[in-house]
Structure 1
Amino acid sequence: MYKPTWARVIAAPFLFLVVLLIAAWSSGFQEIICEQTKSGEEQCASYNLAAYYLVQIKRTVDDNDGLITALATIIIAGFTAALWRSTDNLWKAGKKQMRLIKATAALQSIDMQASIKAAQESVDVARSSAEKQLRAYLSIRHMKTVMVSGQIARVKVRLVNAGQTPARKIRLAYIGQFEANPEATKIYFRPTAGRPSVMDVGPNRQMGFTINGDIILTESVLNDMARDSIRMVVAGVITYEDVFGKTRRLIFKGYTYYTDHAHMSIASCRRGNRSS
């Protein structure tokens, strides 16, 4: 059902008047209109009913010019007020719509940022998992002691890459020295103590190097080593890069000991061994 508006209220009488005039014109009825001349004589003429109504309307308008003007002014003011109200309502609706759009956009932005963050976290987790699975892992496979009287003590070290990709740009720094208390010994790598080298080791491949002691073995030193009163401490830092461009380090520290009267082995210190 249509709601009443100013346009419909005004259009209804106008349409009714138009229909009335058409009906009067087509009816064929005649009406007589008499007018008084300047000389005082009265002249009468016959008009179609529709024309008669128009003439009477014109006379009514002319006789009530001031009233009609006032009514027209009131109607125009009403139209202006209605137009202002409609414009104001439209403006308020537009502002409300803009606030709703901004609020919706803000919520969507928060949701999008949360989604992006979650996706980035998933990518980071996947990348970290891939790196852990595929990266190179250098570790010490075994150490072998070579103790011969009259010669420098030596420890042969064998490294292995247990990862699935090459270890690149490998650099070695190591030292061997005799100490009475290996656990308390602090190792300082002097520039001349390291043997830096640049090489790659592929997956499941090995490489070796030898750590020399700082004294020549004598019978007295060998006897002290047999009694565990002195031991050879070996330590080193192995630096390399994985295929992801990250620098990794393997730090080791151990000491010699006799497993029996004729065999010597290497034990790891409780501190000073770690890898990244």
Structure 2
Amino acid sequence: MLNRLKAYWPAAILVLLIMAVIDGTLSSLLTCHPVSAQTSGSADHQQTKEQCTALGGPILISLRWIAGVTHKYEGLITAAFTVVLAIFTGRLWYSTDKLWGATTDLVKGAEDTAQRQLRAYVYVDPGNGEIRIGLPISIAMLVKNAGQTPAHETRVWTKVEVIDFPLRENLKIELPDDAVPKLVIHPGTFAYGIQIQRDAPLTATEGAALRADSKRVFLWGVIFYKDVFNRDRETHFRLSFGGEAFAMKKLQWCEDGNTAT
């Protein structure tokens, strides 16, 4: 703005001077009258000359009229200006508040994106299992971190059991015992291995039910941990073994029960 004023101020001054000359010329033409031939006295001639003025042009007359109206209705104009100023101030506050809210949302969105990219993501990788008639059910699995930063205070609760299929009720989740150590799971290739076991041997009746897919071996649990931003996270998992999977000797992920925060 200042650069534009510096560039155009000579032209602006020239325009104002031209307007002043034009206004003065029009004022002279409107107020000065030639001396009549019948006027003989020098006093009359002097009086006629004194009636000439360069301050009676349309521009100055308009300015004097505006000044008069402004003075006459000063209170009303002040009140109207105050109302306009209040409306403008309110509008400015509203726009500033919206801008502040948008900026806050943008900053929060950037922080959330950074945390999603950097946080820990802990999950289970099921391994081989020992599911045979007459032996305890035993399944090994690895706890891994697919994120970019370590997972702190990691605790795992799991359970394995033979249950009717389809499930008639939700599988209960319990909190880990206080004696369960809290671990740090680092990202990358590091993995924490655990062995889940049901002490009771698998019976022949249960084995037949597994083949018929009327029962299944369910392995479920939850991983509790804190990410590097000190937020509590949970990973719930559920796998099953039975039916076609019984012949393949392979655990399958269930459609329900697998969530993460």
1:242 aligns with 2:254: no
Give 5+ residue unaligned stretches, structure 1: 3-84
Shift of residue 87, structure 1, vs aligned partner: 7.0
Change beyond 3 A, Cα 1:193–1:112 = closer
C-alpha displacement at 1:88, in angstroms?
Answer: 6.5
2:148 to 164, 169, 172: 164
- Check the 8 A contact 1:163/1:203 in 2, yes or no: yes
Cα distance change of structure 1 residues 169 and 182 upon mapping to structure 2, 3 Å threshold: farther
Task: Count residues in correspondence.
Answer: 193
Q: Describe the shift of the 1:238–1:190 C-alpha distance in structure 2 as closer, same or farther (beyond 3 A).
A: closer
* 2:28 corresponds to: none
Distance 1:273 1:208 in 2: 20
The one-character-per-residue Cα deviations of 1:108-158 (angstroms, maximum 9, x if unpaired) are 101101111111111122122112211111122233212356542111121
**How does 1:22-33 map onto structure 2 within 5 Å?**
none
Match of 1:102 among 64, 86, 102: 86
Aligned position for 1:15 = none
Give the 3-state SS of the residue equivalent to 1:213 in structure 2. Answer: strand
- Tell me which residue corresponds to 1:115: 99
* SS of residue in 2 equivalent to 1:92: helix
Match of 1:93 in 2: 77
TM-score, normalised with respect to structure 1: 0.59
TM-score (structure 2 length as normaliser) = 0.62
Look at both structures and tell me which one has the larger radius of gyration over its CA atoms: 1
Once the two structures are aligned, what percentage of the paired residues are identical? 21
Query: Kindly tell me: are residues 137 and 191 of structure 1, through their superposed partners in 2, closer, same or farther at Cα, counting changes over 3 Å?
Result: closer
Distance change >3 Å, CA 212–CA 251, structure 1 → 2: same
Q: 1:245 to 1:193 in 2, by over 3 A?
A: closer
Deviation for aligned residue 1:183: 3.9
Deviation at 1:248, TM superposition (A): 1.7
RMSD of aligned alpha carbons:
3.1
In 2, the alpha carbon distance for the partners of 1:138 and 1:210 equals 17
2:125 to 137, 141, 145: 141
SS at match of 1:265: coil
- Secondary structure, aligned partner of 1:129: helix
The equivalences for 1:199-238 within 5 A come to 199-204=183-188, 205-213=190-198, 215-218=200-203, 221-222=206-207, 225-226=210-211, 228=213, 230-238=215-223
